[in-house]
Amino acid sequence: MDTKPKLNVYTQQTGAELGDLFGIFFEDLNHAADGGLYAELVQNRSFEFDPVDRHDYHPLTAWEKVERGGGRASLSVEDESPFHPENPHYAVIEILEPGTGVGLSNAGFNTGIPVKAGENYLFSVYMRRSGSFGTPVQVLIEDSGGAVTASAVITVDSAGWQKYEAVLTAASTDNSCRLVILTGGAGRLELDMVSLFPEKTYLGRRNGLREDIAVLLADMKPKFMRFPGGCLVHDGSLNPDDRNSMYRWKKTIGDVTSRPPRRNNWGYNQTLGLGYYEYFQFCEDIGAKAIPVLPGGYDPHHGRIVPLDELGPWIQDALDVIEFARGDASTEWGAVRSSLGHPEPFGLDYIAIGNEEVGEPFFERYPYFHKAIKERYPDMQVINSSGPFAAGGEYERGWASAREHGSDLVDEHYYQSPEWFLANMDRYDLFKADEPKVFLGEYASWGNTYYNALVEAAFMTRLEQNAHAVGLACYAPMLCNVDYVNWKPDMIWFDNHQVFGTPNYYVQKLFMNHQGDRLLHIEAEHLPGQPEALQQPVKGSIVLAAEKSAVTYRNITLTNNLTGERRVIEEIVELDDTEAAASKEEGLRSFPLDDTDWSDYTLKLTASKNGGVRGFLIYFGMQDGMNRLNWELGGWQNQDSILSAVSGGRGSCLTQSLFTVENDTDYELELHVSGRLITAAINGIEINRAEDRLPEIQPLYYTASVEDLSGDVIVKAVNVLDTPLSVRVELKELKAASYTAEVHELSGVALDAENSFADPLKVSPSTRAIAFEGTGFDYDFPGQSVTLLRIKRQHS
């Protein structure tokens, strides 16, 4: 009997369409736009930086006064008569003594402005001066040693604002240059919107994108791009004219001088130079469908809520962006798009309302958006939101809302440990095809090592396998400037002149480059035995803790539910981890349970909070600081009750429900652990329930699809285990013929391997081809590998 392991691919048995399954998500965090994908080289080009954006910002951030050869000048910022009221500030050089030149310089981003020998840089500026009209203004790019590597001369002959432009050609390569603007004469020289772009942007577009980063994105061939956030969308005020406003797309189009500066909630300034027109253009350029995310009239971070009778303009924004993308030039917003340089519609299939909103105000408002959009555009796929947690009250509320209102998709977000992903491979197996589809709009395992990428690849095979229920999925976040990190991990890292993709990037790219159009039925035979169920009960200490709060725990009892044994802890535990605390030494109180074999127990206590911004924190099943479970009540923003697991120092939220801890109130807390099932109750009412499943790694994760145009059969296989697996790949229902299998494989690297500027391709796929006759071939899937087989029939 033939017991060799087999992967049988049924080439005539097609399943769900894969549609737009794998795409990307752009959010301007980690300086992903300014100082990142947006190719502008000048930082704070319109002198609008402000402490509202970041406490140490000011209008001259990144600028310095320059005085040369005995020159003397004052440099200030004024706002009396700007070129454009949306950008009120401009720089004023008051020339006191011209010397050999006075003016200002800009530091760019990271180590400075990067230039390459022989390449052109497009300079532009709005200037006016009070006199000395014949005196030249010199525009210089000076290298890190102060030598001039590119220069141009401009004559400012106007007392009113004028736009001036020049092309500068770099004589040398240097990544730490300064842009210097000098003049002589007397009186005032005033400047605004000082801009320098490489001529070489992605596809040469003006106001364009950094070529190297854009190429990495284009190379992925994503089916869609979600933008512009993330929390960036909904974190802000209700007034669109505030610099602290939620993201209102109409403020981001038109000439860049008319786009207002914006506080980016990730702690910096956003010029909006990369705005909705540029997003749509980029999507078109890389063949990705645009998925704009619009605020739903609710900022869950600050509890800002648009009254229902004032929701009209917010809904109109959604309708208008659809018209902006879809309408012809005879429509109001189609005409705007056309006037910006794109007469033909961009097209739009999807729109998302809200980003991981939690709370009733969002779900009360969502239906108004949904109804208005569907009435005008019945074919538009409208995306609802299910919060930032993989399970729990708000997650369920999002899904219930989607079902009730007929949302096409539900946006799910989770950032979890690799172990959580391994334990939850079957997450979507029972999801139904006739329900709203999953839009996994943000996900990542914590880390950019090969191990993370390997686990994500395995998970992606299951997303693909469940394409009947999973419509869209994108890794997050996408871009990170190494010198401005808000969030880790990220898919692509860069500085001002170089960029590399992480192992996670190469996995995403493989899945996008070879997505296929329809699933093929695939079955494994004789794979090594499925792993034993290793769901050992939760074991370890219980620790009462406080984080950023002052709390008291008393009436503490621990009961073994199987034996009835009861431990009573008489003491009153007072913990203070507030700013005001005299000592932080007393942050934890530990009650060891690891000396027991209790597998079913209940912890009961009375808890009260007397100060601080958070609530209660209980660690249980604690092996050590890096491996434990948490019950956190009133954590970040004091609005949740969360059960989470920490594995190897990496956290995974198991479930969440809304809960706010009030000061000076007694709460009866009850934590019940039974095997790996955890339930938590407050004042006798269950608030959280979760199973902390341990990974049961399958011998192989696999999926198969067919690409309609080429007829190629695509097999993806992920071997997470460290043992190689020799498998016969059989193409069922096909004629014996000559085939080649194009092989793309990630393997042979340590699990902790990462890519870097120095070694950007350390973890990246190798490619080769295998020719075979008949209907199958033997393939050795290496231990810890991601393999992509693209099988083509050879035509004689």
- Whichever of 393 and 695 has its CB closer to ligand AHR, that residue is 393
- Count CB atoms within 10 A of the CB of residue 81: 12
**Which residue number, 454 or 476, has a Cβ lying nearer to ligand AHR?**
476
Q: Does 442 bind ligand AHR (CB under 6 A)?
A: yes
The one among 487, 600, 742, 793 contacting ligand AHR by CB under 6 A: 487
Least distance (Å) between residue 234 CB and ligand AHR: 9
Q: Compare residues 297 and 388 and give the one whose CB is closer to ligand AHR.
A: 388
Kindly state the smallest distance separating residue 413's Cβ from ligand AHR, in Å: 6
One-letter amino acid of 737: A
499 is a contact residue toward ligand AHR (CB under 6 A)? no
> Torsions phi, psi of 700, nearest 5?
-160, 140
Q: What one-character-per-residue DSSP string does 330-387 give?
A: TSHHHHHHHHTT--S-----EEEE-SS--SHHHHHHHHHHHHHHHHH-TT-EEEEE--
CA separation for the pair 569, 554 (Å, rounded): 8
CB 502 within 8 A of CB 583: no
Comparing CB distances to ligand AHR, the nearer of 86 and 411 is 411
Burial class (CB in 10 A: 0-12, 13-18, 19+), 705: buried
Residue 627 forms beta bridges with which residues? 624
Compute the least distance from the CB of residue 265 to ligand AHR, in Å: 8
Exactly one of 129, 304, 413, 548 binds ligand AHR (CB under 6 A); that residue is 413
Do residues 418 and 451 touch, judged by C-beta distance below 8 A? Answer: yes
Taking the least distance from each CB to ligand AHR, the nearer of 320 and 394 is 394
| Min CB(487)–ligand AHR separation in Å | 5
Q: Quick check: 477 binds ligand AHR (CB under 6 A)?
A: yes
Strand pairing class (22-25; 470-474): parallel
Q: Which is nearer to ligand AHR, 313 or 359 (CB)?
A: 359
Rank residues 507 and 558 by Cβ distance to ligand AHR and give the closer one.
507
Q: Which of 284, 230, 649 is nearest to 476 (CA)?
A: 230
In the complex, what is the shortest distance from the CB of residue 792 to ligand AHR, in angstroms, rounded to a whole number?
Answer: 38
The whole-angstrom separation of Cα 21 and Cα 470 is: 7
SS3 content of the chain, % helix, strand, coil (to 5): 15, 40, 40
- Alpha-carbon distance of 653 to 771, in angstroms, equals 46
Active-site residue flag, 332 = no
Q: How far is the CB of 559 from ligand AHR (least distance, A)?
A: 38
| Binding residue (CB under 6 A) for ligand AHR from 106, 207, 270, 355 | 355
Least Cβ distance, residue 231 to ligand AHR (angstroms): 4
**In the complex with ligand AHR, which residue's Cβ is closer, 234 or 427?**
234
Q: Residues of 195-225 as b/e, b for ≥16 C-beta within 10 angstroms?
A: bbbbebbbeebebbbbbebbebbbebbbbbb
By CB under 6 A, what part of segment 382-411 binds ligand AHR?
388
Least distance from C-beta 97 to ligand AHR, angstroms?
50
| Contact between 493 and 482 (Cβ < 8 Å) | yes
CA dist 292 and 642 (Å) reads 30
Q: Which stretch binds ligand AHR (CB under 6 A): 224-232, 254-262, 275-283, 706-714?
A: 224-232
Q: Work out how close the CB of 18 gets to ligand AHR at its nearest, in angstroms, rounded to a whole number.
A: 24
Stretch that binds ligand AHR, among 225-233, 390-398, 696-704, 735-743 (CB under 6 A): 225-233
Least Å distance between CB 442 and ligand AHR?
5
Rounded Cα distance, 201 and 203, in Å: 6
Residues binding ligand AHR: what is the number (CB under 6 A)? 12
Residue 270's beta-bridge partner residues? 262
Q: Is 91 in the site for ligand AHR (CB under 6 A)?
A: no
Q: Closer CB to ligand AHR, residue 477 or residue 516?
A: 477
| Cβ proximity of 394 and 656 under 8 Å | yes
Query: Which residue in 15, 35, 230, 418 binds ligand AHR (CB under 6 A)?
Result: 230
Residue of the chain from 356, 577, 632, 670 that contacts ligand AHR (CB under 6 A): 356
Tell me how crowded residue 159 is: count the other CB atoms within 10 A of its CB: 14
Secondary structure (3-state) at 500? strand
Report the alpha-carbon distance of residue 215 to residue 272 in Å, rounded.
21
Tell me if 461 sits within 8 A of 22, measured CB to CB: no
Residue 192 beta carbon to ligand AHR: minimum distance, rounded to whole angstroms: 31
Active-site annotation holder among 40, 67, 190, 356:
356
Instruction: Determine phi and psi for 539, rounding to 5 degrees.
Output: -130, 150
CA distances from 568 to 25, 53, 110, 603, 703 (A): 51, 52, 58, 10, 53
Question: Which segment (161-169, 223-231, 389-397, 630-638) binds ligand AHR by CB under 6 A?
Answer: 223-231
Cβ-contact 178, 142 below 8 angstroms? yes
- Comparing CB distances to ligand AHR, the nearer of 40 and 357 is 357
CB of 267 to ligand AHR, least distance (A): 13
Q: For residue 420, give the 3-state DSSP assignment.
A: helix
Q: Of 217, 220, 231, 643, which lies in the binding site for ligand AHR, with binding defined by CB under 6 A? A: 231
Site for ligand AHR contains 229 (CB under 6 A) = yes
- Residue 775: exposed, middle, or buried by beta-carbon count in 10 A (0-12, 13-18, 19+)? middle
Q: Closest residue to ligand AHR, Cβ-based?
A: 230
Peptide bond into 228 cis (omega under 30): yes
Q: Is 359 in the site for ligand AHR (CB under 6 A)?
A: no
Give, as ranges, the residues between 23 and 62 that touch ligand AHR (CB under 6 A).
27
Q: Which one of the spans 198-206, 226-234, 453-461, 759-767 is the region binding ligand AHR (CB under 6 A)?
A: 226-234
* CB nearer to ligand AHR: pick between 490 and 712: 490
Give the residue with the Cβ less far from ligand AHR, 489 or 765.
489
Tell me the chain's radius of gyration from C-alpha atoms: 29
CA dist list (Å): 582 to 150, 180, 575, 588, 663: 58, 51, 11, 15, 20
The site for ligand AHR (CB under 6 A) is made up of 27, 229-231, 355-356, 388, 413, 442, 476-477, 487
Enumerate the active-site residues.
Answer: 356
